Amino acid sequence: MRRTKNVKNLFEPTALCCVLLLAGLSTTAIAQSNDFTVSALLNAAAPARDMAQDDRLNILFIIADDLNLALGSYAKSETRPHYATVSTPNLDELAAQGIRFENAFVQNPLCNPSRASLLSGLRPATHGVHTTRQPPLETMSDELRFLPEHFDDHGYYTARVGKVGHNSYEHMVDWDSSNFALSREPGAIVHFPGYLPGQDSSEVRDITWTTGSENGMNRQEVLRSVGGRPLGLPLSWRATDELARMTPDGTTAQRIIQLMAQNRDKPFFIAAGFHKPHQPWVGPAKFFDQHPLDQIQLPPQREGDTIDIPGPASEVSEFDSRLSEAQQKQAIAAYHATVTMTDTYVGELMQALEDLGLAESTIVVFTSDHGFQLNEHGGLWRKSVQFDESIRVPLIVRLPDGSNAGSVAPGLVELVDLYPTLAELVDLPKPAHDLEGLSFVPLLENPTRQWKSAAFSQSRREGHDGLTIRTDRYRYTQWSPLEGAGATMQELYDLQQDPMEFNNLADEPEHAGRVAELSQRLAQGWQAALPEGLAD
């Protein structure tokens, strides 16, 4: 059997108390953990490794959820004015200390399949995960070793807190320590991050607020407030009076710091899975205050933009279409507020590396599982389409020796590349299964070198399979029916001339040659896009 451990997780009721204990600390101590002095933290820490004798570098892997490029180091407000109020000083500093990848793409802009690719090093066509509710191991080899398992096989301590796999499938990945973020719903047996507290001091309330909302709302109550919905939530937010460290992601940050302190005597692979800026956008009011509505702009729209977008890529949710203009602005502000909140937690982790003497022995990776639409293209929110806002993500890698700090790598990379890259960075052998990503260590060494000619992504929605090839200039997508007969619909955008993807060029005669070329390259697949000399 490929499962080698019996790691406690929050699906076991007996493990509920375990998340309330950090290295034997009382729950009172947990609440005060952010107040520890550096001296107290060091006194409770394991002894530091002698890196002269053991040069295996640590990995601190940080992944956000639904985070697009609305970061200070990425934001281009001349094309996306609705990103203009971003406030991410800690992530901007991380980018200044590391290598920022300008063109990083996901294999599927949906949590479960994207994380399946990242953790397995396989693409959707191989691992077979295409939906939110599809258990990864049903379609994968029993012998496959996920990314942290491969590190564990070679002597690393492995741990995750928060969302690294996909919620109810976290237990399918073996870690030495595996825990969810603490929940706002303490009575729940399964501790997901929670939904809507009974307080909201935002400038404009969302459409879920109704009589009884002041008592807090669970998922079912939220759905009932808008007449029911089979999956997902209407856009929702709450500005609260809670302390930042007591939000679910706040507890994740504190527990990650504890894990690093307790295990700095050995090489570690520790993953912090922040739930935000995934919906619902809930967090302390101080983060909302940094994004006032009078500074929020709606995304640029162009008359007739949606006419030439294939149906599967353009459906606007009924619930989203109910939002007033003020609610649309508040939704964007709430999204940015939770990004700023996430930035705060990243800052805490970076400071902890310094305080614990781990900064010079730890590789830091920051990314997101996919992006997020913020009302572009006539009211598109969320993800699972193939627009750049959904498939393009931030990716920052900080090397402990500071090499190429502040550099920008324009080459095309994909999240499926992270598995081979991290393994190569610490000199691990290749896993037994064939990886379908490419190590981008050469880009870390020379960020401006020539790299892949294309990245690949896909979405399944509205009964269609959308397959994308993304080059440095163009995005070409084919939407084909999953069942039965039907025409294949196409999208072609010139990102150099049209970065907001307003003009679908696929049906214009003068671009027929480009469509044929990219269609052929899409059919040839990812192997044909590898850098010259690396195609074998």
The domain ranges of the chain are: 13-49+56-446
Contact (CB, 8 A) for 113 and 124: yes
pLDDT at 71: 98
CA distance 393 to 69: 6
In the chain, helix, strand, coil percent, each to 5? 35, 20, 50
Q: Tell me the two tokens of residue 137.
A: 């191991």
Q: Tell me the two tokens of residue 478.
A: 């084919």
SS3 447: coil
Name, in order, each residue with C-beta under 8 angstroms of 171's C-beta and a sequence gap of 6 or more: 7, 9, 11, 178
- CA 123 → CA 66, 260, 428, 454, 528, distances in Å? 19, 31, 21, 14, 15
pLDDT at 501: 98
SS3 60: strand
Residue whose C-alpha is closest to residue 126's, from 393, 458, 390: 458
Q: Tell me the two tokens of residue 79.
A: 């094309």
Contact (CB, 8 A) for 467 and 458: yes
Residue whose C-alpha is closest to residue 199's, from 233, 241, 236: 241
C-alpha 373 chain-centroid distance: 14
> Could you please report the per-residue DSSP string of 72-134?
TTT--TTT-GGGTT---HHHHHHHHHSEEEEEEE-S-SSHHHHHHHHHHT--HHHH---STT-
Residues of the chain with pLDDT under 50: 1-2, 6-34, 36, 536
pLDDT at 133: 83
> Domain 13-49+56-446 class?
alpha beta
SS3 521: helix
CA distance 381 to 8: 36
pLDDT at 30: 34
CA distance 32 to 35: 5
The whole-model pTM stands at 0.92
Determine phi and psi for 452, rounding to 5 degrees.
-55, 150
pLDDT at 32: 41
Residue 60's DSSP bridge partners are 270, 364
Residue 268's DSSP bridge partners are 157
